[in-house]
A = this chain, B = another copy of it.
Amino acid sequence: MTTVPRELLERMFKAAVEAAQPAHRIAPFLPAPPKGRTLVIGAGKASAAMAQALERHWTTPLTGLVVTRYGYAVPCERIRIVEAAHPVPDAAGLAVARRMLELVQGLGEDDLVICLVSGGGSALLPLPGEGVTLEDKQAINRALLASGAGITEMNCVRRHLSGIKGGRLAAACHPARVVNLLISDVPGDDPIDIASGPTVADPSTCADALAIVRRYGLVLPPAAQRLLESGAGETVKPGDPRLARVTTHLIASPQMALEAAAQVARAAGITPLILGDSIEGEAREVARVMAGIALQVRRHGQPLAPPCVLLSGGETTVTLRGGGRGGRNVEFLLALALALGEPAGSGPAIHALAADTDGVDGAEEVAGAFMAPHTLARARANGMRPRDSLDDNDAHSFFASLGDSLVTGPTLTNVNDFRAILIA
């Protein structure tokens, strides 16, 4: 390999983020201007940036209302950007959900609604179904999380207790044309799972939701139970005529970001292997598995021969034990260094990058970090104890002290985590 490993890894990460940039990804999917009005709505962490990109490409009049997370607003001239709480909904989110449903009332066949949806939109657009309170929904959420139900099952129950999710917002736009532009951060990229699908049809039913409630022995608040049993919580189904004029485009996804990074690797003569766009698990344990695969490359040339790069996306978790400065990507990376151990005397070297594509790994404005064969040795020479840093969840301090942090600033998009392990 003639390229410097760290530079190559950084180029891969930048390509991944670029592939998910609203500024690049909005224009190709914009419809022709309508005869009537153009209304822009949306919700999610990347949705303000999507609105800004749309405004720059849209030449005819438009109005709009988009909600994003506190701190994620960007300047827009014609679309009103509102901030609300994530991941626990607040009154600001509730107010904007009501306002958005009002805005889409009375549209005509010649009108166009462009809906900009991205990860986080579910919490940012909370509207409990009839009789259900925000507190009820929070209690149901806690019970679901503790039940062992899968994310798909949890989302099914949530959608049927909502007044805006599961296609209801799109149905309210009828008879206007609706164009959905989605940035996915969910495993499987199913539109119904992105922000709980406010503007797409939902094949699941109240009966499905009730079956899940029974399966996990959940006890719902009476109003919620009534909503499901009476069928009043039914979502908008595929084939519903009110959704006949809805079209949906996935404009960015973790997989697209990984493919962009893979292309950079190929151009540098490195074989990419995409292991998964939605790898989950405790960060330090995911690191041990990835280390095992990387060492297999070095020892046996499997699952593929070096020079190669193992790419993966998705969202790991960190069970906090210490009080340090960390994030799931740098925790992964420090655990990876420890699992790989000291560099082998011979054989290809292993370098890695792990970062959050939104530019924020954990609580601070650091996207992630780089790991190299001598990371542990350099740290020990500086008087650090890598294992203690990991136990204290202090990986940001660890990599910062080595000058190996990756700082990008907010990227204005989010296709989840990015991990690249280069064996070359």
Using a CB–CB distance below 8 Å, which chain A residues touch chain B? 147-148, 150, 152, 187-188, 215, 255, 273-282, 285-286, 288-290, 292-293, 295-296, 299-300, 302-303, 312, 314, 338-339, 341-342, 380, 385-388
Contacts and interface: CB of A to CB of B under 8 A. Distances in A.
28 contacts: A147-B387, A148-B387, A148-B388, A150-B341, A150-B342, A152-B342, A188-B295, A255-B300, A274-B296, A274-B302, A274-B303, A275-B292, A275-B293, A275-B296, A275-B302, A276-B292, A276-B295, A277-B300, A279-B293, A280-B289, A280-B339, A281-B286, A281-B288, A282-B282, A285-B286, A286-B288, A292-B312, A303-B303
Contacts of A150: 338, 341-342
B276 A296 contact: yes
A277 B293 CA distance: 8
Nearest to A386: B148
Contacts of A380: 215
Contacts of A152: 341-342
Contacts of A388: 148
Given A152-B341, A387-B148, A275 B288 contact: no
Contacts of A276: 289, 292-293, 295-296, 302
Contacts of A290: 289
Contacts of A289: 276, 279-281, 285-286, 289-290
A99 to B, nearest CB: 36
Count this chain's copies in the assembly.
Answer: 2
Q: Which 4 residue pairs of A and B lie closest in terms of their CB atoms, listed nearest first? A: A148-B387, A285-B285, A281-B288, A279-B292
A98 to B, nearest CB: 34
Contacts of A293: 275-276, 279
A255 B301 CA distance: 12
Contact of A292 (B147, B314, B342): B314
Contacts of A292: 187, 275-276, 278-281, 312, 314
Contacts of A279: 288-289, 292-293
A148 B392 CA distance: 13
Contacts of A286: 281, 285, 288-289
A48 B187 CA distance: 49
A293 B342 CA distance: 27
Nearest to A298: B188
Looking at A147, A302, A385, A387, the one whose CB has the most chain B CB atoms below 10 A away is A302
Contacts of A303: 273-275, 303
Nearest to A314: B292
Specify which of A276, A289, A302, A341 lies most central, judged by the most chain B CB atoms within 10 Å of its CB: A289
Nearest to A391: B148
Given A279-B293, A281-B285, A281-B289, 5 more contacts: A148-B386, A276-B302, A278-B296, A279-B288, A286-B289
Contacts of A148: 338, 385-388
Most-contacted residue by chain B among A290, A293, A303, A385 (CB, 10 A): A303
A361 to B, nearest CB: 19
Listed residue (A147, A278, A288) with the most chain B CB atoms within 10 angstroms of its CB:
A288
